[in-house]
């Protein structure tokens, strides 16, 4: 009976170890409020979609003008958020294939937000650059809290 219990214990231990997800490695300079557990919130099936005024995102939550043909060559994007006061916007990119976190804003992790624009409650212009093409999740933080996640296919 002891041998059977021991074998069952080892089997459960091995199964647990095999199903445990890889920990997300965060860059040293990422803001302290960004947590590895935030990346578990990514729904790769919920792609950003086009809606009013040429925006692509999650309608009535967040949207981007300039993301219509996302590219690794660098672009200007105008971020729009609904349901928040103007604040600082932190943008964190996560590449699905390599499971790596990247700074995609060319000026750092965060940009200051201005007031209402294009029907949104807050907005911020920025330049973005992606190191690789592929499927990306963009985690948006407002007031140092995870606000929304946008999923884009980035091309050449």
Strands 134-142 and 62-65: unpaired
Domain boundaries defined on the chain: 48-156
3-state secondary structure of 135: strand
Looking at 3.30.70.260, 3.40.50.12780, 3.40.50.2000, 2.60.40.3830, the CATH number of the domain 48-156 comes to: 2.60.40.3830
Give 63's DSSP letter. E
Asked if residues 54 and 44 have their Cβ atoms less than 8 Å apart, the reply is no
Helices and strands: H and E segment counts in the chain: 1, 10
Q: What is the pTM of this model?
A: 0.84
pLDDT digits (tens, 9 = 90+) for 33-57: 999 999 999 999 999 999 988 999 9
pLDDT at 36: 96
The confidence band for 21, taking pLDDT boundaries of 50, 70 and 90, is low
Distance of CA 3 to the CA centre of its chain: 47
- How many CB atoms lie under 10 A from the CB of residue 142? 20
């Amino acid at each position: 009976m002891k041998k059977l219990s021991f074998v069952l214990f080892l089997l459960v231990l091995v199964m647990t170890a095999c199903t445990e997800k890889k920990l997300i490695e965060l860059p040293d300079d990422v803001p302290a409020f960004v947590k590895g557990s935030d990346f578990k919130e990514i729904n790769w099936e919920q792609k950003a979609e086009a809606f009013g005024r040429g925006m692509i995102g999650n309608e009535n939550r967040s949207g981007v003008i300039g993301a219509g043909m996302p590219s690794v060559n660098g672009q200007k994007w105008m971020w729009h958020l609904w349901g928040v006061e103007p604040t600082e916007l932190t943008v964190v990119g996560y590449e699905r294939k390599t499971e790596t976190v990247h700074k995609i804003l060319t000026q750092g992790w965060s940009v200051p937000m201005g007031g209402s624009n294009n029907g949104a409650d807050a907005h911020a212009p920025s330049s973005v650059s992606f190191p690789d093409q592929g499927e990306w999740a963009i985690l948006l933080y407002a007031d140092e809290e995870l606000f929304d996640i946008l999923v884009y296919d980035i091309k050449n």
